[in-house]
Structure 1
Amino acid sequence: MIPNEFYEAARMDGASVFRTFYQIFLPMTTPGLFTAAVFTFVACWTEFLFALVFNSSNSMRTIPVGIALFSGQYSVPYGTIFAGSLVAVVPVIILVIIFRRWIVSGLTQGAVKG
């Protein structure tokens, strides 16, 4: 929650509503927005249940559903499953490494008391 004092100070300086949003509120909320975006991407990337139940097309499968369908009735190709899991995890790891500064800042921003 952003205090009202920031909005009042911007109004006293003559800033419009749009300028207040773009120059004050948006920079203050950027770490939280990045954190929410990364968590949303990870949740969509690893979606399994809805993709398995509601998707009838073989060409539109998500990665977790494809990995789950590798195993056969009498055998489990562990090497193929592990390779597919690695391919599925690498983009998420790269994304977290790139945005780790904003993720940590967004997670700790609400912890400041005062």
Structure 2
Amino acid sequence: MKNISTSAKLSQCYTGHCLRATAIQAMNDASYEARHIMFISGHRNEASICSYNRGCNITQKKSMSNTLSALTEPTCTSEKQLVKCHHICERANRETKIADTGLAKRG
């Protein structure tokens, strides 16, 4: 993998483990069952693949954010409240993007 990374002039040197972790996370993000991921990855214990899970992916976070935002809509009746709700959602979206960027760099 080191030679492939160098030959391809990638920004960093990737390892076999890095690719394995990425594959496991991709299968988890695609909602594959743990037993199927374990079959592909060769893990024998479900707890072993849990350590590869970085949590919610961006699509899941957006879905949760939209669900929670919908709860605030009926209570934001005045223009001032609507502006405040909008700013809170914008800040949450920025924080999510920052967190996702940090996770992508570690992966």
TM range (shorter): 0.3 to 0.5
Q: TM-score w.r.t. structure 1 length? A: 0.39
Q: TM-score w.r.t. structure 2 length? A: 0.41
Higher relative contact order by CA 8 Å / sep ≥ 6: 1 or 2? Answer: 1
**Greater C-alpha radius of gyration:** 1
